[in-house]
Amino acid sequence: MPRRKSETAAAARGRPRAYDAEAALKQATETFWRTGYSGTPLDKIAAATGMSPPSLYAAFGNKHALYLEALARYWEMTQAATREALAGDRPLAEALMLAYEAAMSFYFSRKGSARGCFVIGTAVAEAVEDAEIRKSVAGGLRMLDADFEARLRTARERGELKQDADPAALAVLASATMHTIAIRARAGARLPELREIARKATSVICGCPVEAD
């Protein structure tokens, strides 16, 4: 069972590959995103990527492996965006709002239609019965928790929070705010409503009013 061949090979021997695995993975992700893992037949993936089923299997193994790869990529994107938002010398409230804005920019597609969070919308459903998906979800949640907590700990050191503030407790709420936004986006909430939720949550977490952008 050969998986994807070396991608950096200079000159392969046989018929050249007609697809771009990277682009195909993105298209597959978009498709799973809308209709979920169980709800997405493989021929929809084939149609979306323009790949034939055999090529799909040669490139990614099977449906499950393809989904796991999409999920892993999504977590990478999420963590990168979150860390970038929380990094630097921005004030705490600004950093949190930036993290939520980054997430929301994922939750609404180019066309503006809401699809919510890929993890909350597709992976969480499978997590109970699928140990690999569950592990990925749990790990991703832990990463986000840790990033928020680190930023809040820094905030207390910098004097942005009162000295008796509990960074771990505030991190729970920072994560929870991300999660509630993710859920609501999938349930059809509009962007302004979500922004308002982010603003209110941030103001409580930071202990200071956050002006509307």
- Given the rule CB under 7 A, which residues bind DNA? 2, 5, 11-19, 40-44, 51-55, 57-58, 62-64
Number of H helices, E strands in the chain: 10, 0
13 interacts with, out of DNA, a copy of itself, none, CB within 5 to 8 A per kind:
DNA
Identify the residue among 28, 137, 155, 161 touching a copy of itself (CB under 8 A).
137
The closest of 166, 167, 201 to 181, measured between CA atoms, is: 201
Q: Which is closer to DNA, CB of 100 or CB of 118? A: 118
15 interacts with, out of a copy of itself, DNA, none, CB within 5 to 8 A per kind:
DNA
Identify the residue among 4, 5, 158, 200 touching a copy of itself (CB under 8 A).
200
Q: Which is closer to a copy of itself, CB of 46 or CB of 174? A: 174
Report d(CA 25, CA 31) in Å as an integer: 10
DSSP 8-class letter at 114: B
N residues, the chain: 213
Q: Which is closer to a copy of itself, CB of 23 or CB of 187? A: 187
CA 169 vs. chain centroid, Å, equals 23
Report d(CA 27, CA 47) in Å as an integer: 10
* Environment class of 180 (CB within 10 Å of its CB; exposed 0-12, middle 13-18, buried 19+): middle
193 interacts with, out of DNA, a copy of itself, none, CB within 5 to 8 A per kind:
none
Report d(CA 118, CA 32) in Å as an integer: 8
Binding of a copy of itself by 129 (CB under 8 A): yes
Binding of a copy of itself by 126 (CB under 8 A): yes
Q: Across the chain, which distance is largest between two alpha carbons, in Å?
A: 66
54 interacts with, out of a copy of itself, DNA, none, CB within 5 to 8 A per kind:
DNA
Q: Which is closer to a copy of itself, CB of 95 or CB of 198? A: 198
DSSP 8-class letter at 122: I
Count of C-beta atoms within a 10 Å radius of residue 136 = 21
Interacting residues toward a copy of itself by CB under 8 A: 34-39, 114-116, 120-122, 124-129, 134, 137-138, 141, 166, 168-170, 172-173, 175-177, 179-180, 183-184, 186-189, 197, 200-201, 203-205
